[in-house]
Amino acid sequence: MAQSDFPGWHGTTIIGVRKGGKVVVAGDGQVSLGQTVIKGTARKVRRLSPGGYDVVCGFAGSTADAFTLLERLEAKLEATPGQLQRASVELAKDWRTDKYLQKLEAMLIVTDGTDLLIITGAGDVLEPEHDIAAIGSGGNFALAAARGLMETDHDAEEVARRAMAIAADICVYTNGNLTVETIGG
C-alpha cells in the first residue's frame, strides 16, 4: 500500500464551553483508521499543571503530533507562568515557522478557566465567540448543538455533554465515550 493510499487516522470531536464561571472541555474516545474503529476509549482531553498552573487541553488530529504540541505548550507555560494567551501565541509562532513542527497535523483547545482558545498549525490563536470552541470532524455539530443549549438553564458541563451526545449521533467518527475536565468557578 502506497503512503498516499494509507487511510490515516481520522476524526474526533472536542468541545470547550464557558458558562457560569466554569470552563468544561469534553472529548470523545473514538479513534478510527479509515472505516474501522480502532479504539473507543482514547483520552483526548488532558490537564497540564506546569508550575502548579492548571490548564486543560483537548486535541484533534494525529495523537503523536498532539502530544508533541502539548509538550511544547507545557514548556511555553513554564517559561511564561500564568500567561496562557502568550504561551499559546508563542507555540503557534513556533508551529508556523519551525520546519519540523509545520508537518504536525493536530488542533488544540486550551483553557486556564479564564481564556478559552483554539490553536492551529496555520499560526492561529483564536478566541471563539459565544463562549464555545469546537474542533474535529464532529466539531461543527457539537458547536451548533452547544449554541442552542447555551440559552437553557444547563451548566457548562451539561451543555458540553449534551452537545457531544448530539455530535456522536450525527458524526460517524465520534462516539459517546467522553472525557470531561472542568476548570474555574
Q: Are 138 and 168 in contact (CB under 8 A)?
A: yes
Q: In this predicted model, what pLDDT tens digit does every residue of 94-139 receive, in sequence order?
A: 888 888 788 888 899 999 999 999 998 888 999 999 999 999 999 9
12 is catalytic: yes
Task: Give me the domains of the chain, ranges plus CATH numbers.
Answer: 3-172 (3.60.20.10)
Q: What single string gives the DSSP state of each residue in 5-42?
A: G---EE--EEEEEEETTEEEEEE---EEETTEEEES--
* 168 in a labelled binding site: yes
Q: In this predicted model, what pLDDT tens digit does every residue of 13-53 receive, in sequence order?
A: 999 999 999 999 999 999 888 888 999 999 999 999 887 88
Nearest to 160 by CA among 172, 171, 176, 173: 176
* 57 in a labelled binding site: no
CA 118 to chain centre: 7
Q: What single string gives the DSSP state of each residue in 140-151?
A: HHHHHHHHHHTT
* 26 in a labelled binding site: no
pTM: 0.92
The letter for the amino acid at 77 is L
